[in-house]
Chain A
Amino acid sequence: MKRFTISPPMAALVLAIVLFLLSGLLPNSYGSDAKIAISQATNIARLAVFLGVIAAGQTLVVISGFEGIDLSAGSVVTLTAIVTYVYVNGADEKVFVALLLSLAVGALIGFLNGIGITFLKISPFVMTLGMSGVVTGIVIILNHGNVSGKVAPIMTRVIARPVSASIPIPGAIVIWIIFGILMWLLLERTSYGKYLFAIGVNRVTAKLSGVNVTGMNLLTYALAGALAGFGGFLLVGNTGVVLISLGQPYLFPSIAAVAVGGTLLSGGKGSYWGSMAGAILLTLMTSLLTTMQMPESVRRMVLGATLLVLISIYGRQRALRQ
């Protein structure tokens, strides 16, 4: 008999579909109306885009190994959202520069994380957690109670609205699919991707094989920051308003999404498809808990327990006894 195996990304996707179908049984859900069901599914996919993009940077740093993680992602999202909001101020022609600005700000913060981790030997978790506090401090100064700004109409049209009247798919989903393909190319078809997996598996052998480990580490954290910055840019295009706590709620789910997708939290193995599936599953779970009118406290506990169960399945380390 052949042993039945299923890859984590597939498992996450199947679980998401089953969960979505089951949610139809909830009293205030879509019931038997297929049209509402489809629009609800589209809506969840649209919300998953932002988590998915933020989880992209997280995927890279987790694959890079050495307990790689980026806890500054949430505050970077808030920062670039505010930067975009204030800089664009309703003008369409400024959107492109705002996008570059978001990427640059994110990359700079990520680069600083990389410096602390590679040169000062601070553990990634502690370094990025500390950086998160610094970025939050900057956000508070920039925000100063309230900011004046406005999202450009073109951002809302491209990100939040459907592609066209005949295709009821929101632009964000299209952006995400293109983004996913680019991420796949980056991980699987470039030397950067090859080196990334190499340093994730074993830094020493990677170094001996001629990989510039220090440079890769710096680049990866800078990239992760830039991707979080991109997430902030997209998110503000969708919400149209900025809050001081805009990005923080995405932080923990972004790590959980990476874990759900089967990327090893110890590094060296994983895929962005997995994180995409994970983002969908986690967004669905959060929105179901909201539909069921669960308070914030229960949502946190469910998220924590989910991650705990997941790492118990995927993340066990070698036993001391050989």
Chain B
Amino acid sequence: MKRFAWNGITARYPALFALTLLILSLFINFLLQPNLFARDTLNSNMRVFLPLVILAAGQAVVILGGGIDISLGGIVSIVNTILATRVGLEGSPEAMWQYAAISLLVGILAGALNGFFVAYLRLQPIITTYATSFLFAGLALFILPNPGGGIPTSISELYRSSVPLGLPLAFYMIAVILLVWGYIRATRYGNFLFAVGGKAQAAYETAVPVTTIQFSTYVISGLMAAFSGIAITMLSGSGNAEIGSAMTLNSITAVVIGGTALSGGVGGVAGPMLGAITLGFLQNIISFADIDTWWETLAKASIIVAALATPGLINLIRRRRT
């Protein structure tokens, strides 16, 4: 009886685990940083988390559709290097928005390349996007071999300290993504997406355009990666070709924490976005816990592995009990 209830709850609310973990990490964070909920602290945290939150949403769409995108970090890097080299520290805001639009196009193109290989040539998603991640990372390094460049300070200030109606800018962005997702989820496309991710063969037999749906998920994730790249550039204000490399695994971890199954077809986008915020707070704890700098990489990596392992661990314990 108890098992039934637990199953029902986790199936209906896949974000529950992320939410529990979020509350826990918030609480520990609050102990370490008592002014956590002050407007400025909240804003300074959320603006750091936002790039990963956007990326996790993109990753979640691909994973829901039964794929995975390892090249997202590479796309983030490309966008960052394009903005940092083309706009420049002395650039005008108009140039910034112009190149931001171009970046979105680049993201869509990069995603379309992934989608072409995975959906139309039927290659394995993991290895294909791993190969393109090298392509993209190389391209980013080609555009900007050494860290440098930048965007106008006025633009990064706009991102860093806008608090419309007293709420951090990131909250509005997250709300927009959730609204768009809510709309997509209710359309026919949303149903198709879950069908393809659940069982592509069955979806094909019931006349779902499987190839088109798979292709579209990579285009969406590429676009989200471009948005994430714009956000992280506005946050850092400078260019670095390696900026996105660590974000790929983080985005996958956020999806796992968020209760969206890597096998596809189960979950949503809200959970992974919560997962990304949780991951941000967990890494915050490490920064605040006064750990020796030499140990920081290990601590952060261990948290990632622990987060990846937890859903499996819960499953294992649950199966043992019954």
Q: Which residues of A contact B (CB under 8 A)?
A: 67, 69, 116, 119-123, 125-127, 129-131, 133-134, 136-138, 140-141, 144, 252, 255, 259, 265-266, 295-305, 307-308, 311-312, 315-321
CB nearest to B135 among chain A residues: A304
Are A136 and B313 touching (Cβ within 8 A)?
Answer: no
State which of A127, A141, A297, A303 has its C-beta within 8 Å of the C-beta of B142: A297
CA distance A255 to B279 in the complex (A): 30
Q: Which 10 A-B pairs have the closest CB atoms?
A: A137-B298, A120-B312, A304-B134, A300-B138, A133-B301, A301-B138, A297-B141, A304-B135, A297-B142, A307-B131
| Cα(A240)–Cα(B315), bound, Å | 47
With A120-B316, A141-B298, A312-B117: A317-B123 Cβ-Cβ less than 8 Å: yes
Residue of A nearest to B313 (CB): A120
Q: Which of A122, A300, A305, A320 has the most CB of B within 10 A?
A: A300
The interface size of chain B toward A, counting residues with CB under 8 Å, comes to 51
16 contacts between A and B (CB under 8 A): A116-B305, A116-B312, A120-B308, A120-B309, A120-B312, A126-B262, A133-B249, A140-B297, A141-B294, A296-B141, A300-B134, A304-B131, A304-B135, A307-B130, A312-B121, A319-B122
Q: Which residue of B lies closest to A302 (CB)?
A: B138
Interface of A is mostly: helix
* Nearest CB of B to A258, in Å: 10
CA distance A175 to B259 in the complex (A): 48
- Which among B130, B210, B300, B305 is the interface contact of A131 at CB below 8 angstroms? B305
A134-B302, A137-B302, A299-B138 are contacts. A316–B123 as well, Cβ < 8 Å? yes
Nearest A residue to B140, CB-CB: A297
Whether A308 pairs with B308 at a CB distance below 8 angstroms is no
Q: Assess the B297–A295 pair: CB atoms within 8 A.
A: no
Known: A126-B262, A311-B128. 19 other contacts (CB 8 A): A116-B309, A125-B68, A125-B130, A130-B253, A133-B305, A134-B305, A137-B302, A140-B294, A252-B134, A265-B124, A296-B138, A296-B141, A305-B131, A307-B127, A307-B130, A308-B128, A317-B123, A317-B124, A320-B211
User: Whole-angstrom distance between the alpha carbons of A295 and B126 in the complex?
Assistant: 27
Binding site for A on B (CB under 8 A): 68, 70, 117, 121-124, 126-128, 130-142, 145, 200-201, 204, 210-211, 241, 249, 252-253, 256, 262, 294-295, 297-302, 304-305, 308-309, 312-313, 315-316
CB of B138 within 8 A of CB of A297, answer yes
Known: A137-B297, A305-B135, A320-B204. Is A122-B308 also a contact (CB below 8 A)? yes
Cβ–Cβ contact B122 & A318, under 8 A: yes
Find out whether the CB atom of B249 lies under 8 angstroms from the CB atom of A130. yes
CB-CB under 8 A from B294, the residues of chain A are 140-141, 144
Shortest A23–chain B CB gap in Å is 22
**Residues of B contacting A301 in the complex (Cβ-Cβ under 8 angstroms):** 134-135, 138-139, 142
CB distance from A310 to the nearest CB of B (A): 9
CB distance from A141 to the nearest CB of B (A): 5
Q: How far is the CA of A25 from the CA of B308 in the complex (A)?
A: 51
Q: What B residues does A69 contact at CB under 8 A? A: 126-127
In the docked arrangement, what's the CA distance between A308 and B70, Å? 14
Tell me the bound Cα distance from A134 to B134 in angstroms. 22
| Partner pick for B252 among A126, A144, A304, A321, CB 8 A cutoff | A126
Chain B residues with Cβ below 8 Å from A303 are 134, 138
Asked if A315 meets B138 with Cβ closer than 8 Å, knowing A121-B315, A136-B301, the reply is no
